[in-house]
Amino acid sequence: MLFTDQLNNSIVLHSYPKRIISIVPSQSELLWDLGLREELVGITKFCIHPKEMFDSIERVGGTKTLHIEKIRALKPDLIIGNKEENEQSQILELQKEFPVWMSDIYNLEDALKMIELVGELVNQSSNANRIKNQIQQSFFCLQKVSKTGLYLIWNKPYMAAGGATFIGDMLQKIGVQNVLQANSRYPELSLDEIKSLNPGVIFLSSEPYPFKEEHIKELQNELPNSKVILVDGELFSWYGSRLEKSVCYFNELVKSYNY
């Protein structure tokens, strides 16, 4: 069977996979939700949802610091990764020995396509299409606002999600105009640069940097005209089955903070 991933790489499988390693948290959760409890044999240390999966499946390092020998020992017949989240050099090394299917996600449409393609890849098209359709339908119920915004993912230095990211697409979907350029990815910003951008709202993500209440106070003092809030980074950036929960969260966010 021939499959093509989102980087237009082709892989050949002689049968549907029985030993899968997923090296991306959102895609590991998706595989679990597709019912592949026995087939999933390896995940990363960041694949924390659901807890039952995290507690029961062998971990093969971090998304960018994979333990290649552990992966070899698990003898996978399929590895599923992502262009942005995994290191190219490690992916190239793994591709010499194993079928590696890669996603490439910039927006909701890419995520929905990934869910469909992964479903075909692991012989779970029916379940995948159910999840895809539920996500698609939920976004029709999305409440929107009209604000300028900045989404910070890191501290010291500040780093933000630009327009050419999945997070940037989520911001656009809820009506937040990203103050960063549409083609930017994850630029570093000084405090003065943030001030000059003058965002109406500043989102402090729970991941990858765990922003806390103290960081709200720091930025709020410096930018009194901006609304600074903590947000659940997983619901803005995980592009698998967790998207089923995102719209409800976004709508509550809009309602709670009255942008």
Please check whether residues 133 and 157 belong to one and the same domain: no
The per-residue pLDDT for range 152-192, each reduced to its tens digit, is 999 999 999 999 999 999 999 999 999 998 888 999 999 99
pLDDT given for residue 238 in this prediction: 98
Select from 105, 138, 171 the last residue of a domain: 138
Please check whether residues 125 and 57 belong to one and the same domain: yes
CA–CA distance, 45 with 23 (Å, rounded to integer): 9
CA–CA distance, 168 with 84 (Å, rounded to integer): 15
pLDDT given for residue 254 in this prediction: 87
Please check whether residues 58 and 180 belong to one and the same domain: no
Select from 138, 165, 185 the last residue of a domain: 138
Domain count, the chain: 2
Pick the closest to residue 153 from 106, 203, 201 (CA basis): 203
CA–CA distance, 57 with 59 (Å, rounded to integer): 6
Residue 208 has pLDDT above 80, yes or no: yes
Select from 106, 138, 170 the last residue of a domain: 138
Q: Which domain holds residue 200?
A: 147-257
The whole-chain average pLDDT of the chain stands at 96
Please check whether residues 47 and 169 belong to one and the same domain: no
Partner residues linked to 160 by β-bridges:
152
Out of 8-17, 110-119, 250-259, pick the least confident: 250-259
| Confidence (pTM) | 0.95
Residue 257 has pLDDT above 70, yes or no: no
Partner residues linked to 201 by β-bridges:
149, 227
pLDDT given for residue 86 in this prediction: 98
The torsion defined by the Cα of 37, 40, 41 and 45, in degrees rounded to 10, comes to -100
The average pLDDT across 57-74 equals 98
Partner residues linked to 189 by β-bridges:
158
Please check whether residues 64 and 178 belong to one and the same domain: no
Please check whether residues 157 and 128 belong to one and the same domain: no
Please check whether residues 79 and 8 belong to one and the same domain: yes
The average pLDDT across 230-237 equals 97
Whether the Cβ atoms of residue 68 and residue 91 lie closer than 8 Å to each other: no
Please check whether residues 128 and 191 belong to one and the same domain: no
pLDDT given for residue 128 in this prediction: 98
pLDDT given for residue 182 in this prediction: 82
Please check whether residues 118 and 171 belong to one and the same domain: no
Cis preceding linkage at 17, omega within 30: no
- CATH number of the structural domain spanning residue 90: 3.40.50.1980
Confidence band of 258 (pLDDT split at 50, 70, 90): low
